[in-house]
Structure 1
Amino acid sequence: MHPFALPGLRSLNLHAKLMLALAILVAVVAGTSAYLLIEHQRAQKFSELEERAARISDLFSRSLALPLWNVDRGAISAQLSALSPNPEVVQFTVTAVGYGVVAEVKGARRADPSSDVVRVRPIEYQPPGDAPREKLGEVRVQLSRAPAMQAMRDARNAILATIAAMVATLYAVTLVLLNGMVRGPINRLEEMVDRMAGGNLDARCAVESDDELGRLAARVNAMADRLRESTARLYDSEQKYRSIVENALEGIFRLHRNGWLEEANPAMARLLRYDSAAALVAAGTGGPDKRPFSPKQVEDLFARLKRDGEIAELDLRLTRPDGTAIWVQLSARGVAHSHGDIVRLDGLLADVTARKHALENLRRHRDELEVEVAERKRTEQELRASREELRQLSWHLEVIREEERKRIALEIHDELGQLLTALKIDISLLQMKLAGNPDAQGKTHAMRELVEKTMWMVRNVANHLRPAALNFGIVSALEWLAEDFNGRHRIRCSVVTYGDEPVLEDSRATAIFRIAQESLTNVARHSRASRVVLTLRSGEASIDLEIRDDGCGFDLNAVSAGHRGSYGLLGMAERARLIGGALSIASSASSGTVVAVRIPLSDDVRATFAS
């Protein structure tokens, strides 16, 4: 425990504590020094007294040998009386062997004989010659310590008086010095600190020296400067905070655990239709029916704070004084007491009534939209089913059309061809019979040329309805198509094949042929090309057909937008899809157009196509 923490010393000022400490320190040091000095002197006095008793007893032991031999009592008493006036002497006693006490001299009586110093020495006589020493008796010397102790008491009193005088002098000098060097500056420092504590932050302590008090005054001044700056910043922050709170568009409030409002800003008052924030706070301190938050809402809010630590964007329904209900979005944090319990919350709320209504309308529209979307999905499914049915019908019609073309081509080729052949034979026979009639010969010759031209036209029509070359494979059909294209147009067309000739179903070979035929028709009409190449690659997994020209190309975006000229391309893509393939088109002004179709040859696709 600190010595100045005692209850009786707490009320003392610093000056008194310093003086008390100085007095105690000097007293302890001086008292200890005096005690040690006196103890040293006493030990020295007692040692000297014992040495004196030993010297006296030794002296008497030697000087009284002859008088005691002669039993000269007078001489003995005379020697003893010579030293008896000494104040330390209590008693000198000489005893003889066989006689008892021969002489005895006493000094002053002492109160405490137990502290006396006693020495006993034998008295021996040395006869002449070689005779042994003979003990004649004893001498007893008894000296008192009382004079020495009295002298030490006198010396102690003198030392204590001297110490007391020194302490008083030192105390007085120190008191004067402390008053001038410590107490005065401290009092002035206290006065300045009191003025600063009273709010006068412009007050400053005078720095009178470079010692600890001067440095303390300088630090107090620095502290005052920082305190003034901090106070100014705090004031600015408070003003900014107050401005933010007062001018905020959202409601800001502090709610007590009991349910009444401690603080609120004008925005919250406007939100709840109160004249002012003060009126709102005053209403909040009333009964539960006057408060903006119901008791159940207060319990729920504080329970949520205790569980989650915060409230984030909670939708809450409040009632205004006129009975109208509004929806607000509340966010809050708890303010805990020193023992840890949440006693109030600081909250922020915004009016979301319009948003709530809009959300309800949006939900209603969403439900309606979901119904419409479901209806639309059903319609789309029906449309997709109808489109698929239409595609199947289109493919069926295309198959029927190809079959019809094939039948018509066969009938034209076989029946009409046979009739024309018979007619040609008859005209040849008729021409032989009319050999003598030049006019008839010319007429029959013209008829024969007409029949031959008709036969060529019939074969051409039949081939365009369905090329006979398809009966010999897709490669023969493409070569016939290229040859026919070369004969009709000034664009050089060639066929390049890779791999073995594929074995295809008639419908699939026809579809590939029609795609190539439509591509060449587009080249002839639009490309302004000088060369076109048909490349057929046959592999184990697929058949790839590529029609490449060096023409002017076309705009794919226009085709994708459904331009009138894109129907042929759509038909080509549909034909490829129906046989399980895929059509791709690449076109640019610098490299012409490439139409590529890939038909997979997997068992699944073949089985699907066959079905």
Structure 2
Amino acid sequence: MIFSMKTDALTARIAQAQLFDATFELVSSALVLLDGQGRMVKVNDAFAELLGYSLPELLGAPFSELLDRPDGLSQKPQHGQFLLIHRPGELVQRRFRHKDGSLLHGQSKMVAVGTLSLCEIVPIEVAVDEGLGQHQWLQRIVETAPGIIGTFRLNSDGTASVPWVSSCYEEYYGVTAEEVKRDANVLFERLHPEDVGRVRDSIAESARTLNDWQCEYRVCHPKKGEIWLEGRSKPTREADGAVLWVGFLHDISERKRMEQALLQSTARYQEVFDNSSDCLYLLEVTGNRQFRYIAVNASFERTSGIGRQQLIGRCLGDVIPHAGQKVMAAIRDCLACGHIIERESELELPAGLVALHTTFIPVRDEQGVIYRIVGISRDVSERRRMESRLLTSEQQFRALAENSLSLIIRYDLNGHRTYVNPAFERETGIPAARALNTALEAGWSANLPVTEYQNLLRQVIDTGEPVETVLEWPCARTGKRVVHAVQLIAERGVGGEVVSVLAKGHNITALKRHERLEEARLCLFEQLAKGAPLPEVLALVTRFIEQGRADFIACVMLADDDGRHLIPGSVSHLPHPCVQALDRVRIGEEVGLCGAAAWRGSAVIIEDLLADACRSFLRERLIEAGFRACWSRPIQDSLGKLLGTFCVYLSQPGRPSEDDLKLIHQASHLAAIAIERKRAETLLLESKKRYRDIFDGSLDALFLLDVSEDGRFRFVEVNPAFERRIGMGRAQLLGRTLEQTLAPFAVAIAIERCRHCVRNGVPFDKEDEFDLPSGHLAFHTTLIPVPGVDGKIRRIVGIARDITERKHAERVVHAREQEFRALVENSPDVIARFDPQGRFLYANPAAQRVLKQTLSELLGKTFSDALPNSPTAQSFQDKLELIIQTGDVLDEEFTYETPLSQNEQIVCHQVRTVIEYDRRGRLLSILAVGRDISAIRAAERRLEESHGQLRQLSSYREAAREEERKRIAREIHDELGQQLTALRMGISMLRLQFGQDHPALVERVQALMARTDQTIEVVRNVATSLRPAALNMGLIPALEWLVSEFLQCTGIACRLHVPSTRLKLDDERATAAFRVIQESLTNVARHSRASLVVIHLESGDDYVLIEVCDNGQGFDPMSLPKGTLGMLGMRERGVMLGGKVTIDSQPGQGVRVRVHIPLHADS
């Protein structure tokens, strides 16, 4: 904040003079005013304090004396001015000599104006020309001084104003000087809310006491944010009671940051002090040469057993008198020599007897006088105890070394062996006496050169740091190479100096072998990862086991695709004759070692080839090659499928040890991994090729988009179908974004959908139509997000299917559906659709009217639910379920037993139900179409009633006719026959009576007799034709008469088969049956051209069955002309009696007439 004072009550010159004096004295920068001779005529307190001088010592002194010699000034008069060696206004780095002789580095800026020069040290230097007057001089100071210079006026009524202020006000407050002059309240608005009250209170206090105002506060700058400012000013009370401040304001943000950092640093040092494991304490040197505690840490309290409250402020000798004397003696030595000293002593403290190694550090004041001592004590009691135990440890070392399994060797400082333990003799084969009396070079057989080993010894002796190495040499007993990890450790004396080197060697032969095996395994996996060929990988597997056992020769055999033979996988180390014999080995029990192992699925071991003559067909060749034993085990994948065999050949007979079996198992497992991995890679390549073929050959447009960090979508793969649709080649598309590829009208849509897919992380489907180079096309597009390993969507798979034809078909189907719907909605027929559970999916208005329910009420209901109390509805529902099960078409008539509502007739519908299937042949729905045939059925009933009445009438007429025939036949037979008989008898009597006398009369009478006989015959025939007399005796006699008459009249053979029992037919039924058979025989005689007729009569309990069969030419019953009344009459006769007459015939196969007559009318 800037504070200024109002000077409108003063003259401008007086105000400027006051402002210059106050600013020159209060500014925090070092300012000096020089005359033309380079002498200092005026300096401020900051300048004197900076260089360590008092004001009287500086005034009148040459300024050049304050500069270090290399930066000295030269005087060069020019135009009556004193010029510095640098150009006026130039910012120069300079070194100043402090009063105490030290150098100060700073920046100086000097400006020569007239005979005076103004210089500012550190931030900015400005010179003021005295000739410019006090106003110009003040302006130069304002421009040169750091921060803001100005005035601030607090009126007696509490209002404030800023009469004058320097130009850089905006840099500190973010407002211009003119804005501040117009409204001083903006200054308080910029203050940090927490500092407003404090600043106002400090201003009020300064105005009350007229003491100098000084305050540090924060300003919220609109651009820089929060900054710290420091303000200083001198108040004066004016005549009107107002208070006017003249002062300056500068930015102390950097200083505040440094103060905060200093606080943090101090806190860290205090934390280190408090938590150090060493005893730390600070002693003050008093005037009487005593040492007072002013600070101790927690470690000092624990070690000494004395609390901090008992120590702070008290002298060393007062707290621990006896032990203090020893410590004070060492401190006085430190004071005397003035350097850091170290002491080691044992002190009797409240915590007990403690051995301490103490370092005393003198601290000097500004005059170089030691006024404090820093003490650092480390508890070395444990070290002392360790030293006391050293001799005991040496004895224990000897006992341990003598019985240790590890090599233990001690070397002196010249590198000669001074001790070796028994393990050294066992491992190296060198006796201890010879090892101690011979040089290290003698008998050295390790892999490491002896000079390098000696250099390692020298390194340990020189540095005291342990060194580790690995030595390998052949074993004296077995000849096999053994490996030892050797550690060289420096042995120190009591004073910490190296006195010898102890070498400890641990046998790591087995570990080394394991490491080599692991290296081989790692190499194997690296080759697998690099995609090396299978033979190379299998060669590494065999090398893996051969490294584990140098006497092993390993080979791998692979199972072929059919699993019946073994072929070489890695057999390069076998002799050539053996390799030839293993070219193709059949898998079987008695076809060799590998074939048997593959056949059994378990290991096969031949301990001695010389003793096993039938197990291996390679026996002779293996023996010739120097092998005496061989072992084999199958190689199987994770599912137990045979992949091959692993075989080991040895030059010595024997069985494998447990370690050997483990090693072979590991090798077999590695071989299985390699084989399975290679086969998987082959399958993967084939799969990739298949998917690539599918990708390229797909009729759908397929594409892959990469999602960049900036939200762009770039093509990384497309198939030919996409190229054809988009009209661009693959090379043009790859790497391009959607904006660079699609038309402007489609880019926004495509990007939005891709972003939707990325945002939601789920597949997205949409149908669109585009005008592409290949035409107006419709696509069904599916976008599938593909997340990366971090879970973010990195790519999008797109599938665009051309549905242009489908869309066209859908539009056509929609149009057809509209037409169909119009037809269905306006159809008088009942149309309904049901789902596979028999529930309504649709019902047209006609169905809704019939069922008296709306479509919304019907949906989801079954037909029986819609009409719960209707047996017909339940029957339809049952039929519907049967159709769903069988898939048959239903065409059935359903009649409602009662009207659906009052004042309505019984409804009858002819319903046809069909099943609707989808494209896959699955049941989709059931369509039912019902036509109201109530009127038709009513008409049929009326017609049936009419037919019944006609049939009754016809039956009555036929019965009346038969009765009339019977009566007429009887009358003809009885009356006319008697008359004719009487007439004939009269004529006979006339001949007898008058014939002898009248010969001519005899001739006439004879003629009359003949005519009478003819008439009698005619009457007899008429009576028979009307009703055969035999019919009065029953049906069977009538049929016998009819057959006889038929045979006599037609000559066609006719056979009659009748039951032995008497038929119980009434006259009406017997007459009807007779007439039907009579009509049949008539038709046979007229049309059949038959040679045989068979009549079969069968009688049941309540029926009579009559069949008339012929072997004639037959006919097609469906092609009979409508005027064949004979057939119709036969059927009607059967119907009138409650029976049935059926006529069966086919062209060329004769005719069969069946007459079924019930014995009783109710049957």
TM-score by length of 1: 0.50
* Higher RCO, 1 vs 2 (CA within 8 Å, ≥6 residues apart): 1
Whose helix fraction is larger, Structure 1's or Structure 2's? 1
Bigger proportion of residues as strand: 2
